[in-house]
Amino acid sequence: MEMDHAAAEKARWRFSDGGVTDLLQARSLHGTADINKRVQFHSSLVQRLALEKEMEGHLGCVNAIAWNSKGSLLLSGSDDTRIGIWSYANRELLHDIDTGHSANIFCTKFVPETSDEVIVSGAGDAEVRVFNLSRLSGKRPVEISMEPSAVYQCHSRRIKKLAVEIGNPNIVWSASEDGTLRQHDFRECSSCPRARSTNQECRNVLLDLRWGAKKSLADIPRQPLALKSCDISTVRPHQLLVGGSDAFARLYDRRMLPPLSTCQTKKEPPPCIKMFCPMHLADTRKSNLHLTHVAFSPNGKEVLLSYSGEHVYLFDVDLENTSSVRYTADNVQEQLCLPPFNKEPAKLISKQQKFPVNRASRNVCRVDTFKKLMQVATKSLEMGTNLMLGVEACSTILLAVDHNIDDNMKHDCLCTRAGLYLKRRWKNDVYMAIRDCNSARCIDSRSFQAHLYMAEALLQLGRLKEASEYVDALNTIVPPYSQSVKQVENIKEQLFAAELEKNKKDQVGNTYTDARHGRLRSLSDLLFRSDASGSSSQEGREDSDYDDEMELDFETSASGDESRDSDPGFVRGSLSLRFHRRDSQTDEHSGENGSAESTQNGDSAYQPEVAVDMKQRYVAHCNVGTDIKQASFLGEQGEFIASGSDDGRWFIWEKRTGRLIKMLAGDGAVVNCIQSHPYDCAVATSGIDNTIKLWTPDANATSMIAGPEIDVSSVIENNQRKLSRNREILLLREKEGNAWKVTSSKR
């Protein structure tokens, strides 16, 4: 039986940032800025975050929010095509600006070093608009209709993100779904022609990624990379991070990029200095896997990626002093599945490691805590309950700041967490189990438990040949205990059953393949085609052996403004279907702004790219419904991670351990945007609702849940089920009328 929420709260453990009173006392004595940063989002304050104010003023979904550098003002952009400027001190709307955009505003920023007088917005009409509030004379009314000081119309598709550079009042960068990132310099021009105009000669393309996307790390980039997000490092402003319609975030050095160019001729993408992608996502070939948000940490040493249909992941930028793994397409499989009895001596730690004598008393206390946490994890594994709590217990041990555990405890902890992952079966848990098994086998190359869980993980992935190799290895190392022998026999039976099922499916599949060729399927069949197991899934379509591949695109007229229709479940939009050969190099932008340069001559010289693997994963939320969902570092220290979710909540994790610490009800439908205050412990959120919500610590808000009391496990399990559908699009035609109801994909 599941442990109830109250019992789970009691079983939780202390954070690594210590007591806030000690920090406050140190600040009174020393007054250092570093202490102020540590206090800002201290765990004791984060755990008490609660809704303070719901700020009203917009008439549509609020798709963008941004603080000014002082934290005195908050900027917002909405589906109502208006910009709001809010006072942090009074929590009130100061100005409501009619921007003149003809479509939803997706991004807005204060331009640095302009006394907060210059603001910029990007929208679904593919325009960047700049407004100078200093041009207003006299007392400024709340509602303002003003002409922009600059309008840039050179993008051909929606603008999803803007970036500014600290200390630079002259330039703004815009990332668009047309595959380009453009640099707009206010000193050079105040306007540019609309895309595809006869006089289109804007030389402002910093990154041309219209041939930048690929479905796997091994692919030569030939598809358009529709940019969804970008960020500039506040510490190293020459570093630029972009993410879009594939699984790879790319880090560029602006000093190494070619000169600004026009978009008349499509160019090969410039080389990036680093590429980030979790290893298990680098070879998925899923066209629906893409990034919705990328962000640098406050110190610029880490980056955070949020995936649609996936989780949030953390990566190291500086790899010299870390254990982050780099990999190529050639060694993805061997990194994920090392052969039985594999051992990597370079990663070994001496089995004779002992605790320092002069820290004996402290170490005894720490080991005591670790043992209690191991008991929590072991009980979770044995009972099959509170699996998330068990995973967090193991992670806390393995990532303790001053952990002094010997190899035996580390090995047992890794194996226990692998077993918990395999039993929990949330999306990609199986890959996390494989990582733990490989780490455990670096400590003990003949570990029975690590090999057993590897066999089970490979079995879950359907990699029966490799699973068989591990079963054979288990026969040689199985301890002479009845429980161990029984475990091996059980995995053998599962493997035998899986092989029989695979052979049966192969036979049915061959017959089905012969029957389906040469027949045009109906729209209903295309949308709801079931795989061999009887479930409808996008994943099944992409893994099939169809010679022709269908692309389906449903674009709404509003990114989330559901107030414009009488039925809140319906949105107006257009449905387009495209059919092409799997080996087709069709580029949907090939007709835009001129011809394309051929890359055929460079194919043979194409060098396989190297990617950086993730170092932490954050699991609980659901990101499938919108393309503007953010994941953010909280505070100047960035020790906590937050993300919005499709269930109307937003989640906070401890950065180091991935441990979920807070779940807050922030919207009636979807939370998209999360921005922490520059200096105070305050967070602004927005989403499908027409309001902006401000969250601050409340002495009475000690529960993990902020909002109606609910079962945490049930909420997270439901989110994981939604993620497993992989953004499958279910379109139901209304019996009367021409509206389409989008139940699982809304962009």
pLDDT in tens, 245-286: 999 999 999 999 999 998 877 788 999 999 999 999 998 777
Of the candidates 727, 604, 715, the residue with the CA atom closest to the CA atom of residue 665: 715
- Residue 482: enclosing H or E segment and its boundaries? helix 482-516
Residue type, 704: M
CB 676 within 8 A of CB 683: yes
- What the block records as the tokens of 407 is 């190899």
The answer to pTM > 0.75 is: yes
Higher pLDDT, 420 or 579: 420
- What the block records as the tokens of 90 is 């009074």
Pairing state between β 705-706 and 660-665: parallel
pLDDT value of position 607: 63
> For residues 81 and 63, what is the distance between their CA atoms, to the nearest angstrom?
10
pLDDT value of position 571: 39
Tell me the average pLDDT across 426-432. 94
> For residues 81 and 98, what is the distance between their CA atoms, to the nearest angstrom?
7
Tell me the average pLDDT across 412-422. 97
> For residues 425 and 421, what is the distance between their CA atoms, to the nearest angstrom?
6
Residues contacting residue 488 through CB under 8 Å, at least 6 positions apart:
452, 471, 474, 475, 478
Q: Counting every residue, how long is the chain?
A: 747
694-712 pLDDT tens trace: 999 998 887 887 767 778 8
Tell whether the model's pLDDT for residue 677 goes beyond 70: yes
CB 232 within 8 A of CB 259: no
> For residues 382 and 482, what is the distance between their CA atoms, to the nearest angstrom?
17
37-62 pLDDT tens trace: 888 999 999 999 999 999 999 999 99
Q: Rounded mean pLDDT of the chain?
A: 80
CB 746 within 8 A of CB 740: no
- What the block records as the tokens of 91 is 């929590």
pLDDT value of position 699: 87
- Residue 160: enclosing H or E segment and its boundaries? strand 159-163
- Residue 507: enclosing H or E segment and its boundaries? helix 482-516
Residue type, 503: N
pLDDT value of position 528: 38
CB 84 within 8 A of CB 78: yes
635-664 pLDDT tens trace: 999 999 999 999 999 999 999 999 999 999
> For residues 738 and 733, what is the distance between their CA atoms, to the nearest angstrom?
7
Tell whether the model's pLDDT for residue 525 goes beyond 50: no
Whose tokens are 């009130």? That residue is: 92
- What the block records as the tokens of 84 is 């709001």
**Phi, psi angles (nearest 5°) of residue 383:** -85, -20
119-134 pLDDT tens trace: 999 999 999 999 999 8
Tell me the average pLDDT across 559-582. 40
Whose tokens are 């009328």? That residue is: 737
Banded pLDDT at 743 (limits 50, 70, 90)? very low
Higher pLDDT, 228 or 570: 228
Higher pLDDT, 628 or 31: 628
Least confident of 80-84, 518-522, 611-615: 518-522
pLDDT value of position 262: 87
Tell whether the model's pLDDT for residue 592 goes beyond 50: no
CB 234 within 8 A of CB 255: no
Least confident of 170-174, 404-408, 493-497: 404-408
pLDDT value of position 517: 53
> For residues 224 and 587, what is the distance between their CA atoms, to the nearest angstrom?
7
Tell me the average pLDDT across 541-558. 35
Tell me the average pLDDT across 709-735. 69
163-214 pLDDT tens trace: 999 999 999 999 999 999 999 999 998 888 787 766 667 889 999 999 999 9
pLDDT value of position 200: 65
- Residue 633: enclosing H or E segment and its boundaries? strand 631-634
Tell whether the model's pLDDT for residue 343 goes beyond 70: no
Tell me the average pLDDT across 225-234. 98
- What the block records as the tokens of 261 is 């160019």
Tell whether the model's pLDDT for residue 225 goes beyond 90: yes
Least confident of 211-220, 464-473, 514-523, 713-722: 514-523
Higher pLDDT, 367 or 385: 385
CB 309 within 8 A of CB 289: yes
Tell whether the model's pLDDT for residue 323 goes beyond 90: no
Residue type, 290: H
Least confident of 288-297, 551-560, 696-705: 551-560
Tell whether the model's pLDDT for residue 583 goes beyond 50: no
pLDDT value of position 198: 66
CB 76 within 8 A of CB 68: no
Tell whether the model's pLDDT for residue 720 goes beyond 80: yes
Banded pLDDT at 91 (limits 50, 70, 90)? very high
Banded pLDDT at 317 (limits 50, 70, 90)? very high
Pairing state between β 150-152 and 128-132: antiparallel
> Percent of the chain having pLDDT more than 90?
57
Strand ranges of the sheet holding 290-296, from the earlier edge strand across to the other edge: 290-296, 302-308, 312-316, 616-618
